[in-house]
Amino acid sequence: MMKVSRLFLYCLFSLVAGLGAISVGRSDEGMWLLNDPPHALLKERHQFDLTQPWLDRAQASSVRFNSGGSGAFVSGRGLVITNHHVGADALAKLSTPSRDLLKDGFLAQRAEDELPCPDLELNVLVSIEDVTARIEEAVKAKTDAAGQNAARRSVMALIEKESLEKTGLRSDVVTLYHGGMYHLYRYRRYTEVKLAFAPESSVAGFGGDVDNFEYPRHGLDFCLFRVYDKGVPVVPGAFLRLHPPGPAEGDLVFVTGHPGSTQRLETVAKLEHRRDHLHPFTLSYLRMLEAALGQYAATSPDAARQASRELHSVANSRKALSGQYQGLLDAKLMSGKMEEEKRLQEAVTDATPWARLAAACQAHAQFQRDHALLERGFGFDSDLFGIARTIVRLSEESDKPDGDRLREYRDSNRKSLELSLYSPAPIHVPLEKVRLTATLTFLAEALGVKHPEVARLLAGRQPNRVASEVVDGSRLADVQERRRLVAGGRAAVASSTDSMIRLALLVDPAARAVRKKAEEEVEEPERQAMARVAQARFQLYGRSMAPDATFTLRLAFGVVKPYAENGQMVPVRTTVAGLFARHDLMGGSEPFHLPASWLKARDRISGDTPLNFISTADTIGGNSGSPVIDRQGRLIGVNFDRNRPGLVRNFVYTDVGARHVAVHAGAIALALRDIYGAKALLAEILD
């Protein structure tokens, strides 16, 4: 699955950028900027004229799920299609012990039956503006990294605030080419979102962790939301009509969506840093969390319901990272990177940026565990802790000038932050204790009990006792209590006896210190060096390489194309008959057990209906739910995964075996019509 999770984003967090697999014009590589699309490449490789109206329509139809995924408008009355696993966060939050929407699915036959989602924010891109010059101008005045970092943060916040006040649109400055370019993205922001349809998770995520990142694949991984504005369904600027015939083998297809992050332009030193430090550490963390969540989930059906979202997310990240790590161990991949780097260095005859980047990695290796555990939340995996930290920091940051704050507390981000902070989504107390016990224990394992912060935190107590005490002693499950504390500001926080607030206060000085260190000693030097590397690249290759992914809207294209594996060609699509065959072959055991709705319908639906298909288009985590569009701009599928050879695409694009996987439009039509009786919804989205 390809949704961007918080963890996943961290795993891949890229501080800067550099070089990569130069395959200019030779492949379907590219997650292209909408304001710098590959006109010539498409014309040359696929004889396709990428017109502005086509692009405008794709942009206006494309939706970002702020929780970490993509989607598209599919009707003039605000219907949005995405993956089931992107919608799963909302489904889980709408579920109760007696209403398990993940397990049982959902259908609103009428608009009044739709379920309002507690904290879902969707974004639609309105415009892009280059603000590189203004930012570099502000930074130029400073002479040291700390000052430059502060100046950069400050001017970015200013630009965003000005834009928000002027346009009323969500305004984010995005760092491209790891520091080579800065663009201001403006979005229309939607928070009145209702659930319209979701299938059962057993068919949406058929094959579970076993089939995840594999192909052939059989998943009905889609669901439907409807977006409202002041109670009225939104009329989008454009939408895509479902085209059930889907693509033919060999067809050119497009994917628009929000790939989370890639590391193709990173230097060799940075990739080695990932291989030698970041990936092994993060993998050990993910395995620990997966074990803890899996054990809790096994204790009862309700525990399984509570844990399922995070468990899937962690397992997904673990599998993705494992594949990446295998890639980083591949001498061929690394020597390719080294050659490209050498070529670039020779062309610009200045090795200083690369030396600075290597030094930044070395610096980071010294405190990457502290950084991940104390500041990035590895050590405190708990919803209540996240809420407590946000309240603690919000109270402090709000007193500062906008430009001096930690970036996520800037005024222009306030509404999104509050949507999340005041979410009425349920807090599962036993699960909170399990997560916190597991991660506090890992904190002790990783830093050692003699580490001053660990010693202060545990104070000789066992992690399970600490976790129980802070969870039981917190009232932050109550949204009113959160509002009360925020309204009371620093004084209210300082005098709070809430045990989770106390914990967040206890660790905050050390967490802030290590963040400051990371920003000033690693991220800012990397950004500056990478800006130089990017200039060198532009000089040598022009704009023939798209920037690394940044969870902003990108256009990818590719061909529906089979590939060879173990001496056999793997076909471009799977079918509904194949889904039933796999259920039978696995004896209906988990995670291959089809729901009753499908088993009942088996004899009256067409087994030949295509279920999933593949193409060479360039996608990555975050592209989950991305529309797959044909030349005519019709919706022919919904992207939901890539296969195992595609896992190294973080570092290098390849079309040798690597494919993304999409739910076929025909399967969507069949499911809505013949399985779920959602005839009105189907009529609304049909071509």
Q: Judged by CB, which is closer to its own copies: 168, or 448?
A: 448
Structure tokens that stand for 451 in this block: 């580490």
CB of 262 to its own copies, least distance (A): 20
Nearer to its own copies, 142 or 287 (CB): 287
SS3 state of residue 114: coil
The least CB distance from residue 217 to its own copies, in Å, is 14
Cα–Cα distance for residue pair 486/481, rounded to 1 Å: 9
| Residue with the two structure tokens 């192909």 | 215
- Strand 568-570 and strand 563-565: the pairing is antiparallel
**Which residue lies nearer to its own copies by CB, 329 or 347?**
329
Q: How many other CB atoms are there within 10 angstroms of residue 542's CB atom?
A: 9
Q: How far is CA 121 from CA 74, 260, 309, in A?
A: 18, 17, 18
Taking the complex as a whole, how short is the minimal distance between the CB of residue 461 and its own copies, in angstroms? Answer: 7
Q: Are 536 and 348 in contact (CB under 8 A)?
A: yes
Which tokens go with 369?
Answer: 């565990």
Q: How far apart are CA 497 and CA 473, in angstroms?
A: 9
Our CB check for its own copies shows the closer of 166 and 456 to be 456
For 187-221, b/e burial (b = at least 16 CB within 10 A) is bbbbbbbbbbbbbbbbbbbbbbbebbbebbbbbbb
As measured in angstroms, the least distance from the Cβ of 100 to its own copies is: 13
Distance of alpha carbon 576 from alpha carbon 218, whole angstroms: 8
CB of 299 to its own copies, least distance (A): 5
Cβ nearer to its own copies, comparing 97 with 116: 97
Please report how close the Cβ of residue 208 comes to its own copies at its closest, in angstroms: 7
The single-letter code of the amino acid at 270 is K
* 134, 159 contact by CB (below 8 A): yes
Q: Which two tokens stand for residue 184?
A: 């201001």
First to last CA, the chain: 27
Shorter beta-carbon distance to its own copies: residue 250 or 448: 448
C-beta closer to its own copies: residue 263 or 441: 441
Q: Which is nearer to its own copies, 96 or 300 (CB)?
A: 300
Omega cis (within 30) before 591: yes
To its own copies, the closest distance from the beta carbon of 529 in angstroms equals 24
Q: Given the rule CB under 8 A, which residues bind its own copies?
A: 208-210, 275-276, 279-280, 283-284, 287-288, 290-291, 294-295, 298-301, 318, 322, 325-327, 329-332, 441, 444-446, 448-450, 458-464, 586-587, 589-591
CB 83 within 8 A of CB 3: yes
Are the beta carbons of 197 and 676 closer than 8 angstroms? yes
Please, which residue, 284 or 366, has the CB nearer to its own copies? 284
Return all residues near 588 (Cβ < 8 A) that are at least 6 apart. 594
Closest CA to 555 of 7, 52, 17: 52
Least distance in angstroms from the C-beta of 273 to its own copies: 12
The distance of closest approach from Cβ of residue 212 to its own copies in the complex, given in angstroms and rounded to an integer, is 10
Helical (H) or strand (E) element with 614: strand 610-615
Residue for token digits 């504005």? 229
Provide, rounded to whole angstroms, the least separation between the CB of residue 587 and its own copies: 6
Smallest gap from Cβ 317 to its own copies, in A, equals 12
- Smallest distance, its own copies to C-beta of residue 669, A: 31
Comparing CB distances to its own copies, the nearer of 574 and 626 is 574
- 45 class by beta-carbon count within 10 Å (0-12 exposed, 13-18 middle, 19+ buried): middle
CB 270, min distance to its own copies, A: 15
Q: Are 404 and 154 in contact (CB under 8 A)?
A: yes
HEC string of 485-553 equals HHHHHHHHHHHCCCHHHHHHHHHHHHHHHHHHHHHHHHHHHHHHHHHHHHHHHHHHHCCCCCCCCCCCC
Nearer to its own copies, 393 or 644 (CB): 644
CA–CA separation, 273 and 250 (whole Å): 39
- Smallest distance from its own copies to CB 154, Å: 39
